[in-house]
Structure 1
């Protein structure tokens, strides 16, 4: 009798959540490709700056004949660079699609009026929260995101610990 139920998401909310998960997967794959490019270059003694700055310097390294990269390694790195660019374009396309969806959603439009909340966060919050009326109070909603302190209470003495971080990581990000 004390169990709390959560309403099922609509088909549109599930599709939007799937779009967000696809975007997160492509971002993770892009980071993985970036790291692999850096690691391959380090094997040949070439260190590039971390992140996107290093990737922008990769074409110059591939054209430089004096750096000692074998032809096969240049071909492999060129393929990885093309894959990185493909992933980058796909992430940008997914972000445009999410922003377009957010502009059509009334809840997301209201959420975007809050400072610091853009179309991606508003869209994801709109898709993941479902019908916010199903939450008993604001603390229940915050708990679903993992933003409330962990409690260790006994004998009428309550002790609040740090934030639990057990809820939705992507929304906290």
Structure 2
């Protein structure tokens, strides 16, 4: 990934963790309605952030790659890979928010297990698709996003609606 993607997704991770601190404080003080309001507002913030990262990233990525002096041979692959990452920024932001919510409730094991499982599956699929000559960076990146969407579907962001 490019430093730009790291920066923007790092912003989403930091915001999700910051929101989980507020939510954990409200959980600890047994303010159930405030917890629900904070979780829903956090969800809205993460959706806006994810969509903003997508739009801004897609608009400025070619300019940023030119500033970073990416060679002309590598530019098409870098643009396509980062485009998929930026398109999936919403899912990544929601995954990080869900993981932060689980940690706010005291469950740090579930996000860790999912990361371990997705890393193992990612390695297996990457090696499997490497043998398919027509598979480009689109295939590798799409697999990563599918794992994130699978986690979100499995969790169904259930904590938001109790």
How does the TM-score come out when normalised to structure 2? 0.35
| Structure with more contact order per residue of length (Cα contacts < 8 Å, sep ≥ 6) | 2
Which structure carries more strand by proportion? Answer: 1
